[in-house]
Structure 1
Amino acid sequence: MLRKFNITIDGKEYLVEMEEIGGVVPSNSALSHVVSAPVTETNEKVEVTPEPVSTTISKAGNDAMTSPMPGTILKILVNDGDEVKENQPLLILEAMKMENEVVATTNGKVSGIHVALGQVVNAGDALITID
């Protein structure tokens, strides 16, 4: 059954036909009240300057171990100058609510730690350099 309604929007009156599909809106509902809000126009220009994005520039070379995935550094298990063996855990990276061990890919000496506790890293970011 089609029902016709007169609706006034911004001072213009519209005739609207709608099909009733069920339910009755009580006459004391918010839909039966005219609501108006003051609109203030201004020609004032607002200048928005975005904040610069902070980036960490690592001095790691191409031989640095990189993050396999985005995540947060939870623990650093080695210090600069430590001797490490292949497959030795170096740090714990939290990603997707899981703790992942990042292990040494080779035997050697830690010559650089390029991250800090709590730091958020992206996949491919330099983590640790082993010489």
Structure 2
Amino acid sequence: MEICADLPAVVLELGVAVGDAVDAGQVVAVLESMKLEIPIETPASGTVTAVHVAVGETVDDGQVLVELGE
């Protein structure tokens, strides 16, 4: 499962690393757009298999932030 950015933004925080177990609703990243902080939550439980962004990086709408496996 891919967790993607909903809008162009800057990555403020990453709350997960590869191998972390996450629960549905857990915040995996915080983005900033137009001075607003937007928490990005996982829609399902799983294990983080990849993190595709770094803090300070600018992301585009639809860009994959984190991938989850079962």
TM-score normalized by the length of structure 2? 0.95
Q: Which has the higher contact order (CA 8 A, sep 6+)?
A: 2
Secondary structure, in 3 states, of the residue corresponding to 1:86? coil
Larger Rg: 1
Aligned residues: CA RMSD: 0.7
**Residue 90 of structure 1, aligned match among 28, 34, 47:** 28
Unaligned segments of structure 2, at least 5 residues = none
Aligned to 1:77: 15
Number of matched residues?
69
Give the CA deviation at 1:79: 1.1
Identity percentage over the alignment?
A: 30
Aligned to 1:46: none
Secondary structure, in 3 states, of the residue corresponding to 2:25? coil
Which structure features the higher share of strand residues?
Answer: 2
**Residue 50 of structure 2, aligned match among 99, 112, 117:** 112
TM-score normalized by the length of structure 1? 0.52
